[in-house]
Structure 1
């Protein structure tokens, strides 16, 4: 199974279009990028034109372009003025992107980078965790969301190109990033700082809902989960899965791996690399190392096909 095919089927337009802003905090970044690209193209054309004149132009024209005045104006004054103006404009353009703290009534989410997945915690106004998730963030359309970004191990970088610029996640430090989606949909992202191993397979999804749909989603996640008594629950415990994973309402309370309380409702598996269905669940449980080499999920090849199907059915039911 090709990982790229899974990403494309789950997150349309993968890899995400970097210069296609989907919200107000991505628009200044896209505008600045376009200005730099166009400016660089203009400089390249001017340099190529000067090179053509130097190689094939008339002697009189070459002498004029090679004089002291041309060098001072074209080689010193012009780039100095243009680069200074570009710096001032770029700083003013992106000044509002620096988040310094939560606004009144603003949704807050803490995202922690792990090797090689994302821990997600939705916070209340006092900073307490009210909903736990992994590798996926749900937000209301048209409302800003403050992300508190940190790392549990090495330096990662959180980047959802359609919604904001990238922000590093540094161990022992919390950086703030504000995002907003103006249209419903699923926005793909990626760790943008090499963090070893399967760094390239550390994807992320932001799902933007209309406000009323998001309110229903949020209420469903806050409600106590219904206990699961099917055979897969016991197999989950006896196979050792509960030592690393948490499932709310059960004895499974491991913290080393992603929270699986609602894994059946996620769009992807393995931090964005596979579509979430029974077949991929069975494959991930049996041999995750073939799908994402170096990740911290051990293989469970000792399980029979029937046991894998039982576990996958249980995982699918956790919504």
Structure 2
């Protein structure tokens, strides 16, 4: 099941056990709020359209009777409201406890570090096959995955509505969350803590795959980039090292920058610029030349290249698969 088709699918459907109780809670609170609004509207209409007591009834004590009835109504309404709010509180606490940890030990741990405005994803940070990617998280279907959340600058928030609730990325602190997908698919994630000018353009994707497909992806990502062989790509690598290596890493080359996404396997990603653009050769070069038009105030500068350097750089980037 893929949740790419409609934006509402991301928040109206659950695709994993960490999100299902949260989704049900959301519907329950929605029903409660709608019910309260309906009752208040009905009481307001009754108050507006009912006949007021006549002067004779008022003189005979009608107003006093109405006042006593109104007092009982207020008391009953207060008791009902208190009971509903307490029930909602107990239910919310139960949901928090039920999604606090998975039913079995996570088989995979990843670390997601947020930057203005993109997501750094580290796999097996302490293992021999450690590698880093960006803005795209691959997980095996049916397996709980622990996500360690950090921030390199300001407070962000990690949210994949179809897979789990929200958890903040806070500088100097590691928060933890777990996600699990019951079905293969592409599940959109989004930063939900306002973090600056490009907060709305700080998205990522979680791609759930079969264990076999996931292992194939993992093994491919763990490999260093192949050395360029064509003349254009070799010249393009020199352009990359001169203009881009201060911020970006390409494993297997001399590019070891840490302030921007790792581009070792750039072509394997569906999107670039934290979801701002589909990943295509044209969009990659457009992003390089016009980053500040596409994503104003991002740390990626506009890079002016001669036509020859642009062609060579494009040839080199096309080898990063």
TM-score, normalised by the number of residues in structure 1: 0.89
Cα offset, 1:81, TM superposition: 0.8
Q: In structure 2, the residue corresponding to 1:17 is in which secondary structure?
A: helix
1:4 paired residue number: none
Question: Can you give the 5+ residue segments of structure 1 that lack an aligned partner in the other structure?
Answer: 1-9
Alpha-carbon separation, structure 1, partners of 2:24 and 2:174: 27
1:286 paired residue number: 289
2:84 paired residue number: 82
Alpha-carbon separation, structure 1, partners of 2:306 and 2:68: 78
2:10 paired residue number: 17
1:210 paired residue number: 210
1:108 paired residue number: 109
Cα offset, 1:106, TM superposition: 1.8
The 1:103–1:23 alpha-carbon spacing in structure 2 relative to 1, beyond 3 Å, is closer
1:233 aligns to 2:272 (yes or no): no
Range 63-72 or range 171-180, more displaced: 63-72
The 1:127–1:212 alpha-carbon spacing in structure 2 relative to 1, beyond 3 Å, is closer
Range 58-67 or range 104-113, more displaced: 58-67
| Contact persistence 2:14–2:162 (CA under 8 A) | yes
Alpha-carbon separation, structure 1, partners of 2:298 and 2:316: 23
1:273 paired residue number: 276
2:59 paired residue number: none
The 1:105–1:81 alpha-carbon spacing in structure 2 relative to 1, beyond 3 Å, is closer
Where does structure 1 differ by over 6 angstroms across 4 or more consecutive aligned residues? Answer: none
Question: Can you give the 5+ residue segments of structure 2 that lack an aligned partner in the other structure?
Answer: 54-61
Cα offset, 1:190, TM superposition: 1.0
Alpha-carbon separation, structure 1, partners of 2:114 and 2:211: 27
1:27 paired residue number: 20
Q: In structure 1, the residue corresponding to 2:80 is in which secondary structure?
A: helix
2:47 paired residue number: 54
Cα offset, 1:313, TM superposition: 2.9
Q: How does 1:163-178 map to 2 (within 5 A)?
A: 163-178=163-178
Range 110-119 or range 181-190, more displaced: 181-190
Number of aligned residue pairs: give it. 305
Alpha-carbon separation, structure 2, partners of 1:65 and 1:224: 81
2:58 paired residue number: none
Alpha-carbon separation, structure 2, partners of 1:157 and 1:24: 20
Q: In structure 1, the residue corresponding to 2:189 is in which secondary structure?
A: strand
Q: How does 1:253-268 map to 2 (within 5 A)?
A: 253-268=256-271
| Contact persistence 1:285–1:308 (CA under 8 A) | no
Alpha-carbon separation, structure 1, partners of 2:29 and 2:303: 50
The 1:145–1:154 alpha-carbon spacing in structure 2 relative to 1, beyond 3 Å, is same
Aligned counterpart in structure 1 of residue 315 of structure 2, from 310, 313, 319: 313
Q: How does 1:1-12 map to 2 (within 5 A)?
A: 11-12=4-5
Cα offset, 1:287, TM superposition: 1.1
Alpha-carbon separation, structure 2, partners of 1:286 and 1:298: 8
Please say which structure displays the higher CA radius of gyration: 2
| Contact persistence 2:272–2:279 (CA under 8 A) | yes
Alpha-carbon separation, structure 2, partners of 1:103 and 1:154: 32
1:3 paired residue number: none
* Superposition RMSD in Å: 2.3
The 1:15–1:254 alpha-carbon spacing in structure 2 relative to 1, beyond 3 Å, is farther
